[in-house]
Amino acid sequence: MPGTKVLVVGYGNPDRCDDGLGMALAERVRALDIPGVDVEVKYQLNVEDADVVLFLDACLCAPPPFFLREVEARSGTLEFTTHSLAPEGVLGLAQDVFKAPTKGYALAVRGYDFHDVGDQISKDAAKNLEAALSFLVGALQPGGSLHPMEVDA
């Protein structure tokens, strides 16, 4: 993706165990300091300006270790609160308000423990996080690419 500005957004709640996977993965990507890649860590999603946005989150229903899919913008998804705004809504809002042709991908890391309170990611989820990080290291480098896919453990 030479010359492409990529925004990686990790979101979730790190005080709910595996729900912090998206944020933890984003922090690991940030530490790599990949040229052309900006990283943000948030509790909720906001409209951003980038050529490509990669949304990182935890998911109980994703196949392990993670699942990557392209996100299609969806207009008219504004709600009373943006706390539940999905990536499709973020891209739709960016197109509606800013006429932004942003391309989006969602990477869902398989988590297991969303019911306990604590800042520890479970052992199996930590393995999935490492697999997702390994994938992103190659995909976000110059010459790398993001292709929607399922990855076997």
Q: Strands of 149-150's sheet, edge to edge?
A: 37-42, 6-11, 52-59, 103-110, 66-71, 149-150
| pTM recorded for the entire structure | 0.76
* Separation of alpha carbons 122 and 139, rounded Å: 25
Tell me what pLDDT residue 45 has: 66
Q: Which residue type sits at 72? A: E
CA proximity to 36, closest of 65, 57, 5: 5
Q: Is 96 left (phi over 0), alpha (psi -120 to 50) or beta?
A: alpha
- DSSP string over 30-67: HHH--TTEEEEEESS------SEEEEEEEESSSPSSEE
Q: Which residue type sits at 42? A: K
Tell me what pLDDT residue 97 has: 77
Q: Which residue type sits at 123? A: K
Contact 83, 134 (CB under 8 A): no
Contact 14, 57 (CB under 8 A): no
Domains and CATH numbers, the chain: 6-143 (3.40.50.1450)
**Sequential pLDDT tens for the chain (153 residues):** 556 788 998 988 888 889 899 999 999 999 999 998 999 998 766 555 577 889 999 999 999 999 999 999 887 655 545 456 788 888 888 888 778 788 899 999 999 999 888 889 999 999 999 999 999 999 998 888 887 655 554
Tell me what pLDDT residue 2 has: 56
Contact 41, 7 (CB under 8 A): no
Q: Write out the two tokens for 23.
A: 């944020």
